[in-house]
Amino acid sequence: MELVVDANVLFSFFKSESTVRDIIIDPESKFGLMLYAPELMLSELDKHKSEICVKARISEEGYELSRNVLETFVKSMPNEFWQDCKEDASKLLPEHPKDTPYFALALKLGCAIWSNEKKLKWQSVVKIFSTKELLELFK
């Protein structure tokens, strides 16, 4: 299953005892996920590095190590790849422009988004899965 994963889900990846981390790393391949994110997701994580370190109780070195691991499991897609879908994506949730890149990438790939933000479900074009829904789906 292919999914675009949003930055808020990825913030949880940095906690060592995280369900999100277990799903993304998935050593038993029971989820079989191919994960994608707009390349701006990396700068979004870096922008919140201090907050992530505090909440995940990790050092900056731990953050960098986890970020490198994350990059091996989530394919960062360049802006040029999904730009042609940006206009359509911006119409889905015009009141939430920060989510436009995630929707544009999902439209381009023809896949769902993994997000725990309930507001993203206010549209009906792109399927949204929460972490809880993914776990139930793969029970």
CB 109 within 8 A of CB 103: no
User: Does the pLDDT value for residue 138 go beyond 80?
Assistant: yes
At residue 120, the pLDDT reads 92
User: Does the pLDDT value for residue 27 go beyond 80?
Assistant: no
Question: What's the average model confidence in pLDDT over 87-112?
Answer: 94
The structural domains of the chain, with segments of one domain joined by +, span 2-137
Helix pair 40-47, 49-56: axis angle to 10 deg: 70
What is the Cβ-side half-sphere exposure of residue 94, based on CA atoms within 13 angstroms?
Answer: 3
DSSP string, 31-86: S--EEEEETHHHHHHHHTHHHHHHHHT--HHHHHHHHHHHHHHEEEEPHHHHGGGH
Q: What is the pLDDT of residues 57-74, one digit of tens each?
A: 999 999 999 999 999 999
At residue 48, the pLDDT reads 95
At residue 126, the pLDDT reads 96
Cβ neighbours for 111, distance < 8 A, ≥ 6 positions apart: 1, 2, 3, 4, 36
Cα–Cα dist 45/84, whole Å: 25
Question: What's the average model confidence in pLDDT over 3-26?
Answer: 91
Question: What's the average model confidence in pLDDT over 71-97?
Answer: 94
At residue 139, the pLDDT reads 79
What is the residue-averaged pLDDT of the chain?
93
Please, what CATH class does the domain formed by 2-137 belong to? alpha beta
User: Does the pLDDT value for residue 28 go beyond 90?
Assistant: no
User: Does the pLDDT value for residue 31 go beyond 80?
Assistant: no
